[in-house]
Amino acid sequence: MVIVMSSKATEADVQVVTEHVEALGLKAHPIFGVERIVIGVIGDERLIQKDQLSLIPHVETVIPILKPYKLASRELKPEDSIIDVAGVKIGGKEMVVIAGPCSVENEEQLLQTARSVKNAGAKLLRGGAYKPRTSPYVFQGLGEEGLKLLQKAKAETGLGIVTEVMETADVELVAEYADLLQVGARNMQNTRLLRSLGKTKKPVLLKRNFSATLNEFLMSAEYILSGGNEQVILCERGIRTFVEYTRNTLDLNVVPAVKQLSHLPIIVDPSHGTGRHDFVIPLSRAAIAAGADGLIIEVHPNPAVAFSDGEQSLTLEAFQELMKEVGIIALAMGRNN
Ligand code: PEP
Ligand code: MN
């Protein structure tokens, strides 16, 4: 961090800054120029609250050098992280597709979907048992009964399970069934939940909130990593913009941005990102072309009667088509699938 003092600053002002910095265990190195004094700070500047420093008289500008996240950054770990989810490696050469219904509804719906997506080439099964719905009057998920159905689908197909955990109190229970614990967009900054996931041994799929900056997204990952759980996979699922013809705007810019700044894998959810089944295949192709490590796709045997997100769910046949088209892009990108 570099602190630039105003032209009126005296040595006494520099002393105040030095004491502030040293009280936090860092070192301050003032450089007395002809017109200005600048102070170089040596040590982990993340311990300093920039806003507090700016309140000290004659501090003009505070320029951080390090990223506010540490464990999530490529500065700390230059090589890509590869996360093992029930034997499926995410973040390596392989493109991984996770597929399944938005909500687990019943045994027939889940098993039919699981068998079909497995045959089409999906590597993991998704399905919500606890659903964060906008309306309190609609289906909220089957809860533990849904988790048991997911377990049954796993036993039959061998597909590892991806399912959402909404509350700290549910982490232990959901972790008994899930191979990958999903944090939904609405909970991206639920820091209690993130902290408790930092203590689990299961990998976490962290979905970006619809209004989160890239920095906030990576800081949320940092909560889980700093709790001791290194297995974090990021997921772009669309953000809010002025656009009204899609449910969200899928921010594919974030894929190369994350790849530059972080070693963590990133997958893309074009189902929530578009809200339109007819846009899911083209945006899946685009996501893989942009460098995403995989996709998470909503699939339903009969989207017209789905309890949630039917309008963005692919039929079993459309999902087969998706796998074909995306496979071509993955090959072109030098990935296995
Ligand atoms: C979901 O995956 O069904 C879901 C609720 O996603 P999001 O949290 O991204 O809205
Ligand atoms: Mn959904």
pLDDT at 115 over 80: yes
Angle 131-132-137 from CA coordinates, rounded to 5°: 90
pLDDT of residue 174: 98
Q: CA–CA separation, 10 vs 13, rounded Å?
A: 5
- Mean model confidence pLDDT for the chain: 97
pLDDT at 312 over 80: yes
Q: How far is the CA of 183 from the centre of ligand 2 (A)?
A: 13
For the Cβ of 180 lying below 6 angstroms from any atom of ligand 1, the answer is no
Shortest-distance atom of ligand 1 to CA 185:
8
For the Cβ of 301 lying below 6 angstroms from any atom of ligand 1, the answer is no
Shortest-distance atom of ligand 1 to CA 269:
9
Lowest mean per-residue pLDDT among 31-45, 201-215, 247-261, 314-328: 31-45
pLDDT of residue 294: 98
Residue with CA at minimum distance from ligand 1 atom 1: 102
pLDDT at 197 over 80: yes
Between the alpha carbon of residue 203 and those of residues 3, 88, 312, the distances in Å are 39, 12, 26
For the Cβ of 272 lying below 6 angstroms from any atom of ligand 1, the answer is yes
pLDDT of residue 336: 77
Nearest ligand to the CA atom of 300: 2
pLDDT at 179 over 80: yes
Q: How far is the CA of 272 from the centre of ligand 2 (A)?
A: 6
Q: Percent of the chain having pLDDT more than 70?
A: 100
pLDDT at 267 over 90: yes
pLDDT band at 172 (very low <50, low <70, confident <90, very high): very high
pLDDT at 2 over 90: yes
Mean pLDDT of 274-293: 98
Q: Largest Cα–Cα distance in the chain?
A: 78
Q: Is-above-0.75 flag for pTM?
A: yes
Lowest mean per-residue pLDDT among 63-67, 220-224, 272-276: 63-67
pLDDT, one tens digit per residue, over 223-239 is 999 999 999 999 999 99
* Residues 6 or more apart in contact with residue 175 via CB below 8 angstroms: 165, 181, 200, 201, 202
Q: How far is the CA of 56 from the centre of ligand 2 (A)?
A: 48
Mean pLDDT of 316-331: 98
**Domains of the chain as residue ranges with CATH:** 2-63 (3.30.70.1140), 83-332 (3.20.20.70)
Q: How far is the CA of 249 from the centre of ligand 2 (A)?
A: 15
Query: What residues pack around ion ligand 2 (CB closer than 5 A)?
Result: 102, 309
For the Cβ of 237 lying below 6 angstroms from any atom of ligand 1, the answer is yes
pLDDT band at 10 (very low <50, low <70, confident <90, very high): very high
Nearest ligand to the CA atom of 237: 1
For the Cβ of 207 lying below 6 angstroms from any atom of ligand 1, the answer is yes
Mean pLDDT of 122-134: 97
| Cβ burial, residue 245 (10 Å; 0-12/13-18/19+) | exposed
